[in-house]
Amino acid sequence: MRTFRARVLVSALFVLAVFSACSQPSSTSPGLPGGPGGDAPVSATHPPADPSQAPNRGLVTGKVTHPDGAPVPGVGIEVKSTDDPAKPVPQLTVTTDAKGVFQWQLEPGRYEFHIRTGGTSITGRAAPQPATVTAGQTATVNFTLA
């Protein structure tokens, strides 16, 4: 009887721990303050963040357009740190919204941004664009597809 009660108690504690963990937002979830490295990307699926909310971060914003100036939605933007040692970037891609715009909060440092159109119906190329991110400031990185 004692073994049965111990098993029930352990099972109940396990279930309680699982429910408790599920009800708390994870501090490692992308896009949440305090996430991994705090590098919350902002795109069509991530609403823009207020740069004043993350004083130790900078904001990079940009737009992808066709040569005629029309916006290009659905383009993947990739970033890599060019610092030595490289800064961690937990999520390597964001997607442009319906207006061809993307935004990304990053730690201060030097980065290189690339567009990724492979695997989509979007055609065109654009040269990689460098940007220096400064805490509390906004850097602009635009691409025009060729």
Question: Which positions ≥6 away from 80 have C-beta within 8 Å?
Answer: 86, 89, 92, 111, 112, 114
> What is the pTM (predicted TM-score) of this model?
0.62
pLDDT string in tens for the chain (146-residue length): 566 565 655 555 444 444 444 444 333 333 333 333 444 444 444 444 554 455 688 999 999 999 999 999 999 999 999 999 998 887 778 999 999 999 999 999 999 999 987 666 777 889 999 999 999 999 999 999 98
Token couple for 43: 């795109």
SS3 130: strand
> Which letter does DSSP use for residue 71 in this model?
B
Q: Distance between CA 87 and CA 46 in Å, rounded?
A: 21
| C-alpha distances in Å from residue 11, one per residue of 17, 20, 22, 120 | 10, 14, 17, 48
Tens of pLDDT, residue by residue over 9-45, are: 555 544 444 444 444 433 333 333 333 344 444 444 4
